[in-house]
Amino acid sequence: MTTVITGATGFLGSHRLVRDGRRVTALARRDPPAARGRLAHALKAAGAGQGGLAALAEVHLLRGDVSRPCLGLDTGTYRALAEEAKEIWHCAAGHRPA
């Protein structure tokens, strides 16, 4: 089963990711290498041990934006994700710099 998590680099999303234990696709605003670094930091803050950090290699990261149509993904990627996902955990929050 594939679970999609928005906001995986945030407080709620990272805690959900640590406890999931399923195949996970995470949607992030930044490109995957930058998002992977932020996600590693968030997992450490969420209390993930070495097993949780090792599982990070299995997380499929997609660059997207929840405020855009089709999550900011191209049509093919969006359709494939919609067919594959069995659960969606929407943990993203609005973000506007002050």
Confidence (pLDDT) at 51: 67
pLDDT of 98 reads 57
Percent of the chain past pLDDT 70, that is, above it, reads 89
- DSSP string of 43-95? HHHTT--HHHHHHGGGPEEEE--TTSGGGG--HHHHHHHHHHEEEEEE-----
Please report, for the chain, the start and end positions of each structural domain, with discontinuous segments joined by +. 2-90
What is the pTM assigned to this prediction? 0.75
Residue 1 pLDDT level (bands cut at 50, 70, 90): confident
Homologous superfamily in CATH for domain 2-90? NAD(P)-binding Rossmann-like Domain (3.40.50.720)
Residues 41-94: tens digit of each pLDDT: 887 877 777 766 777 778 888 998 888 999 999 999 999 999 999 988 898 887
